[in-house]
Amino acid sequence: MATITIPTALRQYADGSASVALEADTVGALLRGLVEQHPTLGKHLFSEQGKLRSFVNIYVGDEDIRYLEGEETPVAGGDVVSIIPAIAGGMYV
- Alpha-carbon radius of gyration of the chain: 13
**pLDDT for position 58:** 97
pLDDT of 86 reads 83
Higher pLDDT, 80 or 91: 80
Positive/negative CA dihedral, 55, 59, 63, 66 = negative
- List, in sequence order, every residue forming a beta bridge with 52; answer none if it has no partner: 46
Higher pLDDT, 87 or 91: 87
Write the CATH number of the domain with boundaries 2-85: 3.10.20.30
Reading phi first (left if > 0) and then psi (alpha if -120 to 50, else beta), residue 39 is in alpha
Task: Give the pLDDT score at 87.
Answer: 72
Residues 6+ apart with CB under 8 A from 37: 14, 20, 22
Domain locations in the chain?
Answer: 2-85
**Distance (Å, whole) CA 65 – CA 4:** 14
Tens digits of residue pLDDT in 33-85: 999 999 999 999 999 999 999 899 999 999 999 999 999 999 999 999 999 98
Q: What local confidence, expressed as pLDDT, does residue 85 receive?
A: 86
Instruction: Give the tens place of pLDDT for each residue, 4-13.
Output: 999 999 999 9
Kindly give the pairing relationship between strand 80-85 and strand 56-60.
Answer: antiparallel
